[in-house]
Each structure stands twice: as C-alpha cells, then as structure tokens.
Structure 1
Amino acid sequence: MAEKSYAKGLEGVIAGESKICKVDGENGRLYYYGYRIADLVEKASFEEVTYLLLYGKLPTSRELSEFTARMRKNRELKPPILNIIKEFPRSSHPMELLQTIVNFLSGYIDHKIEHSPTCNCRQTLHQIAQLPAVIAAFHRFRNGLNYISPRDDLSHGANFLWQLKGTEPDSEDGEIMDKCLTLHAEHSFNASTFTARVVASTLSTCYCSISAAIGSLFGSLHGGANEKVITMVEDIDNVENAAPWIDAALAKKQKIMGMGHRVYKAKDPRAVIMERFLQTLSSKYNDNSKLVVLEEIEKVFRERMEEKGKPIYPNVDFFSGAVYSLLGIPSSLFTPIFAMARASGWLAHILEQRVDNRLFRPKALYTGEVDRPWPAESID
C-alpha cells in the first residue's frame, strides 16, 4: 500500500484542537480566547492576559487582584537558583541558561507536580513569574553587577526593566514593555508551542515541556529572528544602503529576517502594534535611526516581492528588537524576552493538552533503501 501524502513541515496539517488562540492569517487578525489582540493590548495588563490564557476567561476584579498578587509574590529567586545563574558560563547565550534553569525551578516548589488539567502550576506560576528575574540576573552577573530583587508594586513588564537596569522605568516605558509581552504571549501551534504540547503529551512535567519549548524558540527561524533583524539593521546602517543591501541578499537567496510568516498572508497584526510602539519611542528619545531603516527595508522588500507576484509583509520580529533597543535592552536578551512572554501561552497549551491527551506519534515517509545485501567481506 502506498504511503499517504504528507506536508513538509506539517504545513496546513491540523494536529489538534484548541480553544486558546485563533490566527486568521488571510485577514491579519489574532485572537486569544476570542478577544482581539488589539483590545487585549489596549485594555489588559500582561497579568490579566496570563489569567485569560490559563483559565479561559477574563478575571473579575477580585480574581485579577488575587492572581496579580500571587504572580508578584512568586517573582523572587531562591539563593540556590541565583548561585546557578551566577556560575553559568558568561559566554553562553541567555537562552541556554533559560532552558537549563527551568528544570531547576521545579526543584524549588512547595507543591507536588501532578499530571492533570488542574496542575498546581496555575497556583505557583514559577515558570511565568520567575523567568524575568532569571534573565535580568544573568545579564547583571555577567556584567559584574549585583542582583536586584523584584518589586511587587510594578507590572510584569515594568518590574523586568527594574530588575534589569536598577532604575524604575517611567510609566510609558513600563506600559510599553508590558504590552510587548502581551503581543508575544501566545500564537497557536507555532514551533515552540507544538514542541511543548508534544512533550506534555508524554505526561512529562510542565517544566520539561517548557524547557523543550525554549530550545525550539532559540532558533533563528522562530524566536531568534528579532535579534537577527537588529544585526541586519546595523549592517545596513542607513536608508541609502537598504535597497542595494536587499538586492544583494536576494541575489544570494538570503532570507530577509522579520519579513514573511508561514501563516499570515497580510501584515502581522502584532507588527502593526509593535511599529506604533517604535514610532512612539523613537519620537520620545529623539532617535529614529532604526525606524527609518526598517521602514525602508519593508518598502523595498515588498516592492521586490510584488514584482514577483509574492507580496510579503513584516512579522512581529521585524519591529520588536528596535523597540527593545530603545528601552535600553541589549540584543542578546531579545529572544529570552520572547520566552518569558510566551511562557504563559506554553503553560496554557500544556494544561489544555492534558484535558483530552493523546500521545503525538506521527509517521515518517521512508525514502531509504530496504533489504540491502550484507557485504561479502568486512569493510576496512
């Protein structure tokens, strides 16, 4: 019997059911539990969005107050975790630290891990609450600075900037950072989320599932793209260089980082919002150097693609790195920030996977030989 046809990269294949997120790629729309991403960014804090992802509904005022207090209470890192971060090789990428440290966090929780849809990870929230502190601590330690304890009077985004830089961000910077996390919190069955669900389907722990997802996110075709975009912008340097740089890259069949998306056939709605943040910060800090280069890259690249009848639009990674740069964040932390935001979505999918679990076990289309004869003589 002939093997069934397949889609390389599982493109277009429905691998499971989910109520968490809808990506309307044709129309450039994104929903978390039915709520438009633009509304969530405008009206909700990251902590409120996290509640929505974990519980499937918006919280009441009392529920949000209790949940926010629980998240903020669990931000502080215990001394053994800080020691691990301090001793981690300074030359390592922070994503390598994150993948390592998540499993250590599982050893410093007060509850017993249970493999069920009501896992107490909804209560302790270590994987979500503590990742910002881990990232900030590693950055400070490898730059010869001391760890800064979290504050429970700041939002998730503002507290990260506080722990990273040691100065309280103004309300606008803190709000934009928090909203950026909302934009990155969830995006259906992307590579890292699918990784988390595959691991969860084996009835492994939340921590192992999230550690695996972090490894998937590290790749430059996924979360690592925003770091590559900034490298591209720095390489191009100014508007005049954009067109020749892009033409040379296309001639070499080089991917233009941050442009295009497997699902979106219109401009990524997250990129629309992120571009607005970049415009705000560029004006605020009187520095539009990255903004004008990015706008020229988008213009030139789209023109080149439209000439071929293949319109391609920016994705969220195209503008996010420039936003983070203006917030004073080094490029090595861009992908870790993606991870600390996406942890909410990963945990939501892990818990959903457990509700009606079935082990992922796809087939492969074998293209090798069969019944090969054994050599008559030994091979030297």
Structure 2
Amino acid sequence: MTASKPLESFDLAGVVVGETAISNVEGDLGRLSYRGVDINELVQRPFANVAWLVLFGSDADAARQLQLNRFLCAHAALTQEERGILKRLPRHLHPMLVLQGMVPLIELPTEETLGLGLEAEQGLVLAAKLSGLIAAWYRAEQGLAPLGGGPDDNFHANFLTRLHGQVPDGDAVKILDATQILQMEHSFNAGTFAGRVCASTLAPIQSVISASIGTLYGRLHGGADQAALEMAQAIGAPEKAAAYVARCLAEKTKIMGMGHREYRTVDPRAKLLKPMAMALCHDPDSRRLLDTLIAVEQACQTEFAKRDKEIWANVEFYKGAVFHSLGIPSHFFTAMFAMARVYGYIAHFLEFRRDSRLIRPRARYVAAGSHAGE
C-alpha cells in the first residue's frame, strides 16, 4: 500500500480558489491596491471615497461621499431593542464576540433608499451599526450610557464623538480615516474567505459578516493588533526589547505583528502607518509604547540578519500605537479592524453573489491511528 501523504501538506496557501477585482496583494513587490489604485494614493483620499471605490468599483463625487457619510451616521444609532440586548450581555465579553453575536440580530431594511441595491444597503447598515456597537460597548464597560453622534457629515468624527463624548479635532479624524483605509481590504484573507464560504451557501449578508468577524478575531489574523501592543506594554521599555526578542527566538515563541504570510518585503500598510504613529504619539505613555515597538522591530531585524533572513513589521504592529493615542483600549483594536474590513466583506459578498457557487472542498479520510508521525 502506498504511504499516506502527510496531512500537514494539505494547505491552501498559494492555491487559487477564485477571482476578484476588488484588491490585489503583490506580496513579492510589497504592493497593495484597491480596484487598481495603489494604497499610497488611496490613503490620501477621504474615507467615504475609498469605501465607495471598494464597494462599487468607481469614484464617488462629493455629493455621493456626503450621502454615504450621512447614511452611515444615521444608521450608527442603536435602536431601543439593540440597546436592550447589549444591556443583557455579560460585561466581560470581548468586543469581537459582541460584534459577532450582535450582527445577526440587527434588523435590516427591506427596501432600498439610495438606489444601490438592497443587499448593498443592508451591508452598509451593518457597517454603520458596527461603529455604534463598538462605541456603546466601550461606554458600557465603564458603566456609562451610550451617546448620540456628533457631526452627521463625517462618519469617523461621528464615531469618535459617540466614543468619547466630544467632537474630535481634525487631526484625529484624519489619522483614523487613513488607518481604516489601510485595513479596509486585503483580497482572500482568512476572514474574507470564510465569508465567501458562508455566502456560497446563500446565507444572508448578516450571517456572512458574522462569520468573517469571528474569523478575524483569531490571534493569527486580526487579533495580532491587540497582542502586539500588549506585548509592548509587557516589555515595558525600549531598552528591554532586545532581550525580549532574543528570548522569544530561543524559545521559538511567535513575536506578534512581525512578518506577514503574503509579503516578502515590507508590508506597504505598515510602511505608511509607522510615520503616522510617530507623528501622532506625543504623550509619554504612547511614545514609550511606540518606541518599544520600534525597538522590537529593530531587534528582530538584527537577529534575523544574523541568520541571513529579513523580517518586517506588518500592519497590525504599529496601528495599535495609533489607536492607543486616540484613546481606544487594546482589547478594542480588533473590533476597530472589523469596522474597517467590513467594507471589504460587503464588496466580496456582492461580487461573489453575481456568480455564486457552493464552496465544498473534499477531505481525505484517514483511519484512526494512521496519521503521519503516530
């Protein structure tokens, strides 16, 4: 009998499982583009313009951007029923579990109002609700009541007002826009692919987004952002970074936020985020955390160079410092990721729906006790 192929070799890494026109990850070149537009250009645009481009494949003029901002701001407000459900949830729940559980419970519109198609508008309602849920859960953890939004013509200004109770300055909104644009879409990542699998069963959009959010929560996916900043907090100071990195490598412990499965050179998103973080982190605590992260990256590069290898920080690594400076606690970082990536999830749902086919891979049955290495 022919020896069984080791199960570990059955890996989807690099396997083409579909086509998309939404984003292109060119890992060998360190490039990322949405709808053919490079991320370096997109990060300079208004958030609503990029969200529209990702969703619908075209630029939104000023009138469309204002329409989208006002739609999102209006639907970010939680209904009385939604607030009632939140009140009954245990306060120790991680925000990502709250989002995953609440998304299927949101009552969606049954008629379109923007002329974009019902499923697209239902997706946008869910995108708006994520911001309202994050802000409400943040305040609930502190024993505070949810707040109404601020400006109705800027989605992220509205969100930060719901979060902290005061209208943010323009710099805070600008850097949140840029950070969320950078993590809006990334081709067939694990969360997006999970959503496409769910969509292939003809499940509704709220189930698809819930499945994607649940996948994003993992420490090897979106959860790396929380882990990276908490690592810096645990290290405590930049001068301790080298010893920490040496210990991790000796013990074969993963350093969260370092390296990326797709990029063979620097992650273009991290390349943009690092200077943003350096410009934003002024208070002593934020600066110490940022300097510690920089020291970890430098120590990693030094150690890997000794092995004739290269390693670079990924997008998760520096965005935690940005969020920390905006007053967002680390256990909410991945929820903020979901709040941005949801536009990619919606875009993939709409793209896949046009030519949907059930995704049903096969498994090779292995009799008990016959696994390789047993």
TM-score w.r.t. structure 2 length?
0.92
How many residue pairs get aligned? The number is 364
Cross-structure match for 2:29: 27
User: Which position in structure 1 is the counterpart of 2:367?
Assistant: 368
**1:265-312: CA deviation from partner (whole Å, max 9, x where unpaired):** 111111011111111112477952122111111111012112223211
Distance 1:62 1:156, change over 3 A: closer
Do structure 1's residue 120 and structure 2's residue 129 form an aligned pair?
A: no
Partner of 1:288, secondary structure, is: helix
Provide the residue aligned with 2:191 in structure 1: 192
Q: Per-residue CA shift, 1:116-140, capped at 9, x if unaligned?
A: xx75132241111111110110111
Matched, 1:334 2:333: yes
| Matches of 1:217 and 1:56, distance apart in 2 | 24
Contact map agreement 1:46 1:178 (CA 8 A) in 2: yes
The CA deviation at 1:9 is 3.6
Tell whether the 8 Å contact from 1:281 to 1:326 is kept in structure 2 after alignment: yes
Cα offset, 1:46, TM superposition: 1.9
What is aligned with 1:257? 256
Q: Which residue of 2 aligns with 1:301?
A: 300
Distance across 1 between alignment mates of 2:264 and 2:217: 24
How far apart are the structure 2 equivalents of 1:320 and 1:249?
22
CA distance in 1, matches of 2:358, 2:338: 25
The answer on whether the counterparts of 2:286 and 2:321 sit within 8 Å (CA) in structure 1 is no
Unaligned runs of 5+ in 2: none
57 and 4 in structure 1: CA distance in 2 versus 1, 3 angstrom threshold: farther
The one-letter code matched in structure 2 to 1:358 is R
- Map of 2:69 onto structure 1: 68
Q: Residue in 2 aligned with 1:203?
A: 202
Whether the aligned pair in 1 keeps the contact of 2:69 and 2:153 (CA below 8 Å) is no
Superposed CA offset, 1:67-102 (max 9, x none): 333222222111100111122110110111100110
Deviation at 1:20, TM superposition (A): 0.2
Q: What's the offset of the Cα at 1:184? A: 1.1
Map Cα deviations across residues 290-348 of structure 1 (whole Å, 9 max, x no partner): 22111111111012112223211110000011111111111110010001111100010
Q: 1:80 to 1:192 in 2, by over 3 A?
A: same
Q: What is the match of residue 133 of structure 2?
A: 134
For the residue of structure 1 that corresponds to 2:15, the secondary structure is: coil
Counterpart secondary structure, 1:23: strand
- Do the aligned partners of residues 195 and 31 (structure 1) sit closer, same or farther apart at CA in structure 2, a change above 3 Å counting? same
Pairwise CA distance, 1:48:
1.6
> Conserved in 1, the CA contact under 8 Å of 2:52 and 2:60?
yes
**Which has the larger displacement, 284-293 or 129-138?**
284-293
> Do the aligned residues in 1 keep the contact of 2:281 with 2:321 (CA within 8 Å)?
no
> Which range is displaced more, 161-170 or 208-217?
161-170
Asked if the contact 2:35–2:57 (Cα under 8 Å) also holds between the matched residues in 1, the reply is: yes
Aligned to 1:47: 48
The offset of 1:49, in angstroms, is 1.4
The structure 1 residue matched to 2:15, chosen from 5, 13, 16, is 13
1:67 to 1:332, Cα distance in 2 relative to 1, 3 A = same
CA RMSD, 1 decimal = 2.2
Contact 1:158-1:177 at 8 Å conserved across structures: no
**TM-score normalised according to structure 1 size:** 0.90
Distance in 1 separating the partners of 2:23 and 2:245: 34
Amino acid at match of 2:60: P
State how far apart, in whole Å, the 2-side matches of 1:165 and 1:121 are.
Answer: 32
Secondary structure of the equivalent of 1:31? strand
SS in 2 for 1:368: coil
Q: Distance in 2 between matches of 1:191 and 1:287?
A: 30
Contact 1:139 1:164 in 2 (8 A): yes
Partner of 1:37: 39
Give the match for residue 377 of structure 1. Answer: none
Match of 1:376 in 2: none
CA displacement at 1:144 relative to structure 2: 0.9
